[in-house]
Structure 1
Amino acid sequence: MSRLRAVRGRMTASRRGVLSIAAGSAGGQVLALAAAPLLARLYSPADFGVFTIVAALVTTIGTVAAFRFELAVPLPERERDAQALVALGLAAAAATALLGTVAVLLVGDGVAGLFGRPELRPWLWLVPPAAAATAAVLVLNQMAIRHRRYGSIGRRNFLQSATMVTTQVVAGAGGLRSGGLSLGLGMGQVVGALVLLPGARSADPEVRAGRRLRHLWESAVRYRRFPLLLAPSGLLNILGLQLPILFIAYWYPASVAGYLGLTQRVIAMPAALVASAVAQVYLAEISRAVRGDGEGARRIFVGASRKLTLVAGPAALAVVLGAPTVFAVVFGAPWRTSGAYTQALALYMAAQIIASPLSQTLIVLERQGLQLAWDVGRVVLVTGAVVAAARSGASALTAIWALGVSGAVAYGAAWLMSLRAVTVDSRRARQAAAGPRPVPVRAAALND
């Protein structure tokens, strides 16, 4: 009975965690949704095109700027080990910002020229600090997950979105057209990191000892597989998302990247509202299950899959049925093209909502090699599909359909890999709990 009450308590805490994070995300996304029609009138498709490129660079660099130490934060038993991983991640993010600034100084003109957009050049200076702030948010968010501070995560989601939207509206109204969207992105990431920072500190001398140089080195060695395997894997993972976008921005007119940028902004809302909340709570619960007896891991995976499917299916159907008309009415007739792009990405969106939060299963189970193999496969599949469409002279819409279909296939494979991994791990946990099989009496007699 006491065990049943404990399980119910964990489920209740998990449900409260999802609601806390979802509430913060919902508030931020409601603001973003309310502001989107205004932004579509303040900024042209070409302005959105500049933002799409900057956002792709920030996301790509920021995802790996902490060397993936943040993924290890929920795992250690000792709190001082987790503090050491936070310190390592933040130090890596700062170093990445410094190197990125030097890179912009040296090759910024070349990058702007590569995309044929001179107006991109001054906004490339935002990429290094915004990427570092993105990495800091990832690191501090993992510490909040470890401590189950779901309310803090919810506040971060809301304030980060609110800051981004407010900055973008004010900058656009003030005439800062080509880079106002990018400026808002950077400000939002900085505020997100500042909201989470106080909760990551500890006054316990034993815990703070984890930040000493010797312990930092020991932790870096202990968790070396994260930067050595998961940083390249994480880079490949994010390139699978962002590299096709950059290729589309390279091969097609600036307006195409702008239409695609608004499409991404809108279809990201259901993922940010529900999937991200489930993902963060799922990480805490699956990590706890694996650290325990491991038997409940598969049940947690299947339950989360079912909940995400109930969100993804209706959302994709609604997009397919009405996206072009809705975009034309809400954002203005020139943006009907974004609605057509959204239809092309509907299946991709649904698969991403389901599989992306659950892909953390491979990390928790320390199947880094399997994760790396999938990341390589997705980059080859999705980028190859977009490049093949563009090189063949296909229309931009055809290239985006190629992106949507190939991306959905890749996420389907990710879900199957995670299911198999968690099933095998749960089976091993049950066998270990059952103990060795007894030797049959007849066999024992024969051996004697």
Structure 2
Amino acid sequence: MTSSNTTDTATARREDPPTTAKKKRSRELIIAQLIGQVALLLAIPVLTRLLSPAEMGIYQTGLSVALILQPLATLRRELLIPFAGVRDARKHRWIGLGFAATLSGAIALVALPAWALGNATLAETLLATALILPSFALMYVENAFLIRHSAQGRLAVRNLVGGVLSAGLQVVAALILPGAIAIAAALLLGRAAATFVTVARRTPSSDVESPGEKKSQRSISAILSAMIAAASSQAVVIVSFASLGPSAAAQVAVGQRVAGAPASLIGQALTQIALSSAAPLIREQRPGMTSQLRSLTIRTGAAAAVTAAALMIGGPLLAVPILGPGWEVAGVMTAVFAVPLSLTLVALPATTLLIPLGRERLLVSLQTVRLVAIVAAIVVSSALTQDVFTTSIVTAAVWTLAYVPLMTAAFTATVAHDRLCAQVVNQSSAP
């Protein structure tokens, strides 16, 4: 009996390397993403000292607008590429990049009449948006292409190099030419260089079509849902810019960026891991997605709780020492938005799975309800209290509650997928 147990254990250990290798690649991906995003985060205190609040507000507002427009710019092809056939993946890649370049050019052209009419602030914001937007397109589309080719090693290197190089170039740009356009251009240059040196290599195995790959998906719903989700999180920054000016928007935006730092540090990596794990199950019509999502949600939920507590305590205390004099309001905003932004760690990878599972329209409906609720909270609370802090607290509370139906929808979709796949497996194995 002892000999048999020893043999079974040895056999199990010989079968472990694929699983161990997969976990190792996931860790490497998270660590690389973490280092790259930490570099960008560490650049913020430098930029708040080198740039005026107005220039910082223009850059942050351009960043907010670019975040909202990114799903439209890439046409959400980054969610189709990992699950597509070889030819379709290449087509999605060039469509996404091409449309992003076209949209960015159109935004830059709109800035010219604004400048001619004397509205330099609007023109500079549009130009910053036009430079930031293609940097997002490169990151999302090209990263999805690496996922399609199972090139997690290159993806990890790109995440690391892109973050470190972009942060360094932004600091250099701020030293030479302290302005929103300069640091937006630096961000684009850094991500473009990182993409170029880690581009996916074509191999014979990468040209093989896998059975069960999806040839097409509805894109309009995916685009709308992502734009609405981004608008929900960026509404406070844009409203502050429009009503109070770029300096006030800088305080709100920097506080929100700091509170959202943990999600930005590893959020993309978590989404990439969720998609990488789900892709073969969807392509090959195998069950197991619910257990994967449950395990990921438990881990990210624990991380979100710890993160939110740390931000609520540390934000107001460390704002001035880290960001510099005059950024006290940003520290308070960090504490206010700590909970909803930390919960992004849980919701982002989960809700992303609704797209390849064919629940785009449901996601659009849920995101629309969330946006309406958040905007209503901003409008009603500001009208009744005329206080930015109270308005932010009410907005953060509504934002947090809106995650409940989104997570419910994600688990409902994975359960339905697993049941359908289990039925297919049982029918195929029946005599």
TM interval, shorter chain, is 0.7 to 0.9
What residue is the counterpart of 2:56 in the other structure? 48
What residue is the counterpart of 1:102 in the other structure? 109
**Relative to structure 1, is the Cα distance of residues 179 and 97 closer, same or farther in structure 2, using a 3 angstrom cutoff?**
closer
Q: Distance in 2 between matches of 1:224 and 1:276?
A: 22
What residue is the counterpart of 1:391 in the other structure? 383
Question: In the TM superposition, what are the counterparts of 1:70-89 in structure 2 within 5 Å?
Answer: 70-76=78-84, 78-89=85-96
**Relative to structure 1, is the Cα distance of residues 171 and 293 closer, same or farther in structure 2, using a 3 angstrom cutoff?**
closer
Q: Does 1:22 align with 2:24?
A: no
Amino acid at match of 1:99: A
Amino acid at match of 1:391: A
Question: In the TM superposition, what are the counterparts of 1:274-293 in structure 2 within 5 Å?
Answer: 274-293=266-285
Q: Does 1:234 align with 2:229?
A: no
What residue is the counterpart of 1:258 in the other structure? 250
**Relative to structure 1, is the Cα distance of residues 383 and 83 closer, same or farther in structure 2, using a 3 angstrom cutoff?**
same
Contact 1:46 1:258 in 2 (8 A): yes
* Pairing partner for 1:422 from 399, 402, 414: 414
- Deviation per CA, 1:275-325, whole angstroms, max 9, x where unpaired? 322210110111212223432110110111111112111111111223211
Amino acid at match of 1:98: G
Amino acid at match of 1:19: R
3-state secondary structure, aligned to 1:359: helix
Could you tell me the TM-score, scaled by structure 1's length? 0.83
Amino acid at match of 1:366: G
Post-superposition shift, 1:33?
A: 4.0
Contact 1:14 1:285 in 2 (8 A): no
Post-superposition shift, 1:190?
A: 2.8
What residue is the counterpart of 2:173 in the other structure? 171
Q: Distance in 1 between matches of 2:385 and 2:196?
A: 46
- Deviation per CA, 1:374-404, whole angstroms, max 9, x where unpaired? 1211211122212223334522222222332
What residue is the counterpart of 1:202 in the other structure? 202
Q: Distance in 2 between matches of 1:397 and 1:81?
A: 48
Contact 1:45 1:254 in 2 (8 A): yes
Contact 1:17 1:281 in 2 (8 A): no
What residue is the counterpart of 1:305 in the other structure? 297
Q: Does 1:402 align with 2:394?
A: yes
Q: Does 1:223 align with 2:230?
A: no
What residue is the counterpart of 2:326 in the other structure? 334
What runs of 5+ residues in structure 2 fail to find an aligned partner?
1-7
Q: Distance in 2 between matches of 1:175 and 1:229?
A: 41
Q: Distance in 2 between matches of 1:276 and 1:177?
A: 28
* Pairing partner for 1:59 from 67, 75, 97: 67
Amino acid at match of 2:137: A
Q: Distance in 2 between matches of 1:186 and 1:261?
A: 20
Q: Distance in 1 between matches of 2:98 and 2:336?
A: 40
Post-superposition shift, 1:430?
A: 2.4
Contact 1:48 1:259 in 2 (8 A): no
Q: Distance in 1 between matches of 2:205 and 2:269?
A: 33
Q: Distance in 2 between matches of 1:108 and 1:57?
A: 18
Post-superposition shift, 1:427?
A: 2.2
Question: In the TM superposition, what are the counterparts of 1:317-396 in structure 2 within 5 Å?
Answer: 317-392=309-384, 394-396=386-388
Contact 2:48 2:323 in 1 (8 A): yes
3-state secondary structure, aligned to 1:280: helix
Q: Does 1:413 align with 2:408?
A: no
Q: Distance in 1 between matches of 2:115 and 2:398?
A: 32
- Deviation per CA, 1:134-173, whole angstroms, max 9, x where unpaired? 2132111111112222222222222222233223222322
Q: Distance in 2 between matches of 1:325 and 1:4?
A: 51
- Deviation per CA, 1:418-443, whole angstroms, max 9, x where unpaired? 0111112212322333349x9xxxxx
Q: Distance in 2 between matches of 1:399 and 1:7?
A: 55
**Relative to structure 1, is the Cα distance of residues 377 and 107 closer, same or farther in structure 2, using a 3 angstrom cutoff?**
farther
Q: Distance in 2 between matches of 1:252 and 1:132?
A: 28
What residue is the counterpart of 1:442 in the other structure? none
Contact 2:377 2:395 in 1 (8 A): yes
Post-superposition shift, 1:73?
A: 0.7
Q: Distance in 1 between matches of 2:311 and 2:322?
A: 14
What runs of 5+ residues in structure 1 fail to find an aligned partner?
210-218, 439-448
Q: Distance in 1 between matches of 2:288 and 2:343?
A: 24
Could you tell me the TM-score, scaled by structure 2's length? 0.86
3-state secondary structure, aligned to 2:37: helix
Of the structure 1 ranges 26-35 and 336-345, higher mean CA displacement relative to structure 2 is found in 26-35
Query: How many matched pairs?
Result: 419
Contact 1:63 1:134 in 2 (8 A): no
Name the % identity: 22
Amino acid at match of 2:99: A
Amino acid at match of 1:386: I
What residue is the counterpart of 2:137 in the other structure? 135
- Deviation per CA, 1:161-208, whole angstroms, max 9, x where unpaired? 223322322232225245444333333443344344x21x53769959
